[in-house]
Amino acid sequence: MRIEKDGLGEAALPDEALYGLQSLRARDNFALDYRKTNPRLIYAMATVKKAAARTYERLKTPAASGRSGVYGAIIQACDRILAGEADAMFIVDALQGGAGTSTNMNVNEVIANLALGILGESPGRYDIIHPLDDVNRGQSTNDVYPTALRIAAIEFLRELSKACAALQEALQRKEQEFQDIPKLGRTELMDAVPLTLGAEFGAYAQAIARDRWRLYKIEERLRQVNLGGAAVGLSSDPLSRKYRFTVIEELRELTGMGLAAAEYPMDLTQNADVLVEVSGLLKALAVNLMKISRDLRLMNSGPHGGLGEISLAPLQAGSTIMPGKVNPVIPEMTVQVALRVLANDTAVSSAASLGEFELNAFVPLIADALLESLSLLCRAVPLFRAKCVELIRAEPDRCAQLLNASWAFAAAYVPRLGYEKVRIIIEENRGDPAKIKAALEAALVS
């Protein structure tokens, strides 16, 4: 065991622990047993720390201890984190007080101790590499955390935009495949007018196309970062201006993203409205996925007591008591993912509204909820496409049967006969489609 001390006291840590005293305290203080900080956020923070170390090397800034090779070791330590070698060392719960300070300290300590090992030193030798004076130099949680969150969100958004593009294309293929299958259109779950099954899928494709475009465009707002702004967007470090623009240049190179220094860093430190906007677009996608999933579930209902206009692929047994029953499990999963995204959007919006003055203390909830929504959608959309949409089979005979059993065709006579006359003919013939059709035709020639 090793002993680490600070102004609040001391604690023993396992010799092999790469986290330090601050991480240990945070783990115990926020012992919610909920879930740890999202790994994508951890990796993005490590990328920010790597960019900072590369910047100080580039600016020939000496380490706090004066020892050479410190920033090179920090860079190597970040690479090891990005390779997944230290995942078990990130021990802090996602929901935490302090606006993300504990996650930042956890990352700082793990990097410092990994870097010490690279230099042949033991964990805890902070006189050689210090978590704050070296790893966190020129930074604050208040600029590192939001910057990392934006990087993680952009990574997810790019993945999700591609998944939406593939789903849109799958729906368009079904539009073409089903374009010649007439069916009954419905409004408010009641018989309406004839259309084609292909037209319905074309409408679904259009909705997802809008989602795809919105997700693609929102990246522009996320590319502005407040890195270099320190605590409130106004760094007091005399090297801050040179550091700020150099570190963002390094970060652009490391991430391949067109990141730019915020024109007014204090804005991004104070305000989380851009993250609310992103969450809102995820909500819009979730709403569309839920609508499409519920439609497919209804059209698939049966096989004998429901609509049965389409057949979804049978993926698993649907009941422990009713043999042969198969459920529409992928649309049901997708609806549940969508509901979680809607709930997360409420959390993001509420937390963003609770910031005071120069900082929002509740950004950990914003990060956790937003990244969960992104992660779930990145997995759910491809599953919905591959296991549901692409495997849908039309049932043309059933579509024709339901269409022919309705008087949906009657609306086409309204322009020539008038609404009231058509209504009376329907009522007089008691909804019998054959009699209604004959009466309407007779009325046209009379």
* Catalytic center residues: 319
C-alpha to C-alpha distance for 339 and 122, rounded to whole angstroms: 48
**Cβ within 8 Å of residue 318, ≥6 positions away:** 325, 326, 327, 329
Q: Spell 103-130 as b/e; 16+ CB within 10 A means b.
A: bbbbbbbbbbbbbbbbbebebbbbebbb
What is the rounded CA–CA span in Å between residue 48 and residue 149? Answer: 11
How many angstroms separate the CA atoms of 213 and 233, rounded?
A: 32
Please report, as a single letter, which amino acid is at residue 3: I
CA distance 398 to 183: 9
> What are phi and psi for residue 146, nearest 5 degrees?
-60, -35
Query: Is the preceding peptide bond at 303 cis, omega within 30 degrees of 0?
Result: yes
**Nearest CA among 38, 37, 82, 70 for reference residue 137:** 70
Q: What is the DSSP string of 177-230?
A: HTTT-EEEEEETTEEEEEEEHHHHHHHHHHHHHHHHHHHHHHHHHHTEE-TT-T
CB 391 within 8 A of CB 405: no
- How far is the C-alpha of 193 from the C-alpha of 184, rounded, in Å? 6
